[in-house]
């Protein structure tokens, strides 16, 4: 009996510990041809919301090379939820200092800037969620942008 009680308590603790862990439910990438983001090219993602319980965090990774010409990047995001709600947000991110020091994680002259797009969002309906990104830089061609990645985490 004593071992049964210990086993039950231990099993319950393990179950609670693992059920509270954040779960990555979607990862995808949008690659730019010749590492150049044309201002007329809309980067887009689509993922399926299969569970309306819990909250979601959406992250973007901007992956760029040392050929990126500016200290900052400007873009707009649009999220259309399965219920039809539309959320817009503008970003103006500093990628390096005026002294040419990069602010992102570096891996052999390729840099990754991780951005929290939305935190603790609760979807009200199941279905497709669409994320679109628009380049808002002043030039038509933005060289050095290799890809944008989306990661969706449910907790």
User: CA dist 19 to 13, 27, 133, 145, 155, Å?
Assistant: 10, 21, 33, 37, 9
pLDDT at position 143 over 70: yes
**Quick one: pLDDT at residue 108?**
72
pLDDT at residue 95, as a whole number? 87
Rounded mean pLDDT of 62-91?
A: 94
CA-wise closest residue to 11 among 23, 1, 3, 154: 3
Domain map (residue ranges) of the chain: 25-154
73 CB burial (10 A radius; 0-12, 13-18, 19+)? buried
Task: Please state the pTM of the whole predicted model.
Answer: 0.81
> Per-residue DSSP letters for 91-136?
EEEE-B-TTS-B-SEESSSEEEEEEEEEEEE--SS-EEEEEEEEE-
Higher-confidence residue of 63 and 10: namely 63
User: What pLDDT is recorded for position 83?
Assistant: 96
Residue 2 token pair: 């004593």
pLDDT beyond 60 at 10: no
Tell me phi and psi for residue 10, to 5 degrees.
Answer: -65, -45
DSSP letter, residue 38: E
25-154 belongs to CATH 2.60.120:
yes
Q: What is the mean pLDDT of residues 110-126?
A: 94
Quick one: pLDDT band at residue 102, thresholds 50, 70, 90?
confident
Q: What is the mean pLDDT of the chain?
A: 88
């Amino acid at each position: 009996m004593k071992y049964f009680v210990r086993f039950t308590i231990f099993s319950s603790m393990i179950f609670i510990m693992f059920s509270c862990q954040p779960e990555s439910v979607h990862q995808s990438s949008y690659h730019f041809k010749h590492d150049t983001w044309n201002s007329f090219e809309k980067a887009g993602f689509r993922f399926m919301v299969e569970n309306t319980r819990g909250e979601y965090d959406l992250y973007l990774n901007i992956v760029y090379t040392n050929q990126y010409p500016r200290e900052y990047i400007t873009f707009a995001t649009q999220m259309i939820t399965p219920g039809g709600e539309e959320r817009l947000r503008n970003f103006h991110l500093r990628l390096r200092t005026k002294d040419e020091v990069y602010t992102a994680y570096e891996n052999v002259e390729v840099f990754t800037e991780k951005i929290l797009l939305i935190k603790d969002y609760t979807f009200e309906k199941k279905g497709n969620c669409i994320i679109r990104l628009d380049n808002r830089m002043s030039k038509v061609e933005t060289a050095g942008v290799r890809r944008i990645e989306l990661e969706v985490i449910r907790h």
